[in-house]
């Protein structure tokens, strides 16, 4: 195990340095590229923050139940694609629906948590969450993959 | 691919190009010269430059669009000569496009390309959507887009043999093949392809000219609204409703999620403008098909960006970040096509 500070804290520190110290001194094109670079660091930081809940384990378990097959995450995902294309799974299968909602929300939470379509989807998911998840509390960030805060 | 060039060789290239361009602009205005040349955008194969033609009278502001001649004829991409013909046709019909001044000839030694009027205006969405000076423009823009699209779709182009013909089903299958070529399986995309196959509209009675990329970035806006429509190289003959659907894709709303037309207007405003300019009455279900296909098209384009990053063609942070935007398409398709199940569907044992 690495010592302190955490990987995520180091990334946050570099993001803040870029945004607060570097970008204000750059011209248009340079400033754009530096902002994108800071956003890319944010993506990696959020992935590491989410990694604590072992999302891949949950995703594989859902895929095993959904496709009836075990394998690597990539192999199971390709198998599900095959079953959708070959019409071996119904589009209104609630397991397919729940798998898509959980995994896509988790993915965009890393890639682009400020994306308008993501925010709207999270509102819809939380409104439906009573019947889908354990009660939510407010002190931890929303984790779509586990459905827990 | 990274090129290693010194500043002095860049300056020499620019001087050589300016000399060749001077001969071209003298066809337009005898005795004139090229000044204030700057590169606007560019990759290895295609570039845009801005300069002024200076001589007697007022300086003429020009944009120069140029492609390497060896890159011409790539599949699905119109040559710049043909694009110039199409823009000329649109201008003749009174549509807002930059005037084409001069098309390059082989003996100009500059590859292929053309010179056109440099229109003043704004193409950057955050400025168009947020700055107060565009408030009046924003209120009219969706209707104007409808009017201009109706004009494009009524352009007589039967004699332009370079335009590809694509039915809705052919477009869908071409997109599926592109998706498969990236070998990155995405169940949400597969579901959307299946939904689209189940909802392909009948071929339109007549295939119309479709602009093919009518969205922010290609729409030049000034204080009074839509000033010019740029980038015609993806035009083809197909279902005109494809342009309306593409304009409504959520990724072009830039946060204004409840204003589906480019983040500045409603579908009703768009359709009203379209009808007012003599277009058919748009069928909302057909437009929705094209909006979903357009959303997926943007997702597959993002996968292409990711593929070029992974292959090492462009490993810049910008390219990598756009690649990751495929997931924004997944969440938009999710909201459109997948209801949230009423109760938990999986056995306990995780989460």
pLDDT tens digits, chain B, 351 residues: what are they?
344 455 677 788 889 999 999 999 999 999 999 999 998 876 666 789 999 999 988 999 999 999 865 555 555 678 899 999 999 999 999 999 999 999 999 999 998 999 999 999 999 999 999 999 999 999 999 999 999 999 999 999 999 999 999 999 999 999 999 999 999 999 999 999 999 999 999 999 889 999 999 999 999 999 999 999 999 999 999 999 999 999 999 999 999 999 999 999 999 999 999 999 998 999 999 999 999 999 999 999 999 999 999 999 999 999 999 999 999 999 999 999 999 998 888 875 554
Residue B247 within any structural domain of the chain: yes
> Beta-carbon neighbour count of residue A81 at 10 Å?
21
Mean pLDDT computed over A121-136: 75
User: What pLDDT does residue B81 have?
Assistant: 93
Which of B315, B341, B344, B347 to mutate against chain A (most A CBs within 10 Å)?
B341
Residue B342 within any structural domain of the chain: no
Whether residues B46 and B167 share a domain: the answer is no
Closest CA to B251 of A38, A111, A19: A111
* pLDDT classification of A138: cutoffs 50, 70, 90: very low
Last residue of a domain, one of B92, B117, B142: B117
Query: How many angstroms away from the CA of A12 is the closest CA of chain B?
Result: 17
Whether residues B67 and B200 share a domain: the answer is no
Residue B47 within any structural domain of the chain: yes
Residue B215 within any structural domain of the chain: yes
| Domain regions of chain A by residue span | 7-51, 55-132
User: What pLDDT does residue A53 have?
Assistant: 59
Contacts of A111 in chain B (CB under 8 A): 324-325, 327-328
What number is the ipTM of this complex? 0.90
* pLDDT classification of A139: cutoffs 50, 70, 90: very low
CATH of the domain at B96: 3.30.200.20
Q: Which residues constitute the domain of residue B28?
A: 15-117
Number of domains within chain B: 2
Q: Closest CB to B340: pick one of A84, A107, A125.
A: A125
Residue B348 within any structural domain of the chain: no
In which residue are the tokens 């459109």 written?
B336
Whether residues B253 and B171 share a domain: the answer is yes
Last residue of a domain, one of B101, B117, B133: B117
Contacts of A33 in chain B (CB under 8 A): 316-318
Q: How far is CA B350 from the centre of its chain?
A: 45
User: What pLDDT does residue B349 have?
Assistant: 53
Last residue of a domain, one of B91, B117, B143: B117
Q: A131 vs B338: CB contact, 8 Å cut-off?
A: no
pLDDT at position A136 over 80: no
Q: B328 vs A111: CB contact, 8 Å cut-off?
A: yes
Residue in chain B lying closest to A74 (CA): B185
Q: Closest CB to A131: pick one of B320, B335, B343.
A: B343
pLDDT at position A140 over 50: no
Whether residues B91 and B134 share a domain: the answer is no
Closest CA to B337 of B283, B307, B299, B306: B299
Whether residues B147 and B258 share a domain: the answer is yes
Q: B195 in contact with A at a CB cutoff of 8 Å? A: yes
Residue B345 within any structural domain of the chain: no
Is the CA virtual torsion B247, B250, B256, B258 positive or negative?
Answer: positive
């Amino acid at each position: 195990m690495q010592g302190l500070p955490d990987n995520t804290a180091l990334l946050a520190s570099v993001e803040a340095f870029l945004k607060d110290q570097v970008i204000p001194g750059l011209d248009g094109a340079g400033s754009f590229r530096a902002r994108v670079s800071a956003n890319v660091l944010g993506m990696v930081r959020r992935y590491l923050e989410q990694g604590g809940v072992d999302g891949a384990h949950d995703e594989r378990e859902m895929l095993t139940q959904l496709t009836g097959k075990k394998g690597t995450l990539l192999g199971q995902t390709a198998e599900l694609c095959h079953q959708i294309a070959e019409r071996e799974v119904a589009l209104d299968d609630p397991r397919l629906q729940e798998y898509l909602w959980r995994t896509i929300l988790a993915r965009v939470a890393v890639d682009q948590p400020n994306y308008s379509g993501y925010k709207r989807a999270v509102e819809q998911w939380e409104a439906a969450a009573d019947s889908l998840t354990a009660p939510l509390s407010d002190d931890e960030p929303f984790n779509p993959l586990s459905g827990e805060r | 691919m990274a090129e290693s060039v010194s500043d002095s060789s860049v300056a020499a290239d620019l001087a050589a190009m300016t000399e060749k361009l001077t001969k071209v602009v003298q066809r337009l205005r005898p005795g004139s010269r090229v000044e204030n040349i700057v590169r606007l955008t560019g990759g290895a194969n295609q570039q845009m430059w801005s300069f002024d033609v200076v001589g007697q009278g007022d300086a003429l502001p020009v944009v120069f669009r140029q492609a390497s001649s060896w890159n011409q004829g790539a599949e699905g991409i119109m040559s710049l000569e043909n694009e110039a013909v199409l823009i000329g046709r649109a201008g003749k019909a009174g549509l807002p496009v930059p005037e084409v001044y001069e098309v390059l000839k082989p003996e100009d030694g500059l590859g292929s390309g053309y010179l056109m009027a440099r229109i003043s205006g704004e193409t950057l969405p955050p400025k168009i959507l947020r700055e107060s000076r565009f408030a009046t423009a924003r209120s009219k823009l969706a209707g104007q887009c409808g009017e201009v699209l109706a004009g494009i779709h009524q352009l007589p182009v039967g004699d332009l043999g370079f335009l590809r013909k694509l039915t809705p089903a052919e477009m869908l299958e071409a997109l599926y093949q592109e998706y498969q070529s990236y070998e990155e399986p995405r169940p949400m995309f597969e579901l959307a392809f299946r939904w689209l196959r189940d909802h392909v509209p009948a071929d339109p009675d007549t295939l119309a000219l479709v602009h093919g990329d009518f969205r922010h970035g290609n729409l030049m806006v000034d204080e009074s609204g839509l000033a010019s429509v740029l980038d015609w190289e993806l035009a083809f003959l197909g279902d005109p409703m494809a342009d309306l659907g593409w304009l409504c894709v959520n990724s072009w709303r830039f946060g204004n999620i409840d204003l589906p037309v480019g983040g500045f207007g409603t579908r009703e405003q768009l359709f009203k403008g379209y009808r007012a300019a003599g277009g058919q009455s748009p069928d909302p279900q057909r437009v929705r098909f094209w909006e979903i296909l357009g959303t997926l098209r943007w997702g597959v384009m993002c996968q292409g960006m990711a593929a070029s990053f992974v292959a090492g063609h462009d490993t810049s942070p910008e390219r990598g970040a756009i690649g990751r935007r495929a997931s924004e398409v997944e969440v938009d398709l999710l909201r459109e096509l997948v209801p949230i199940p009423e109760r938990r569907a999986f056995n306990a044992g995780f989460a």
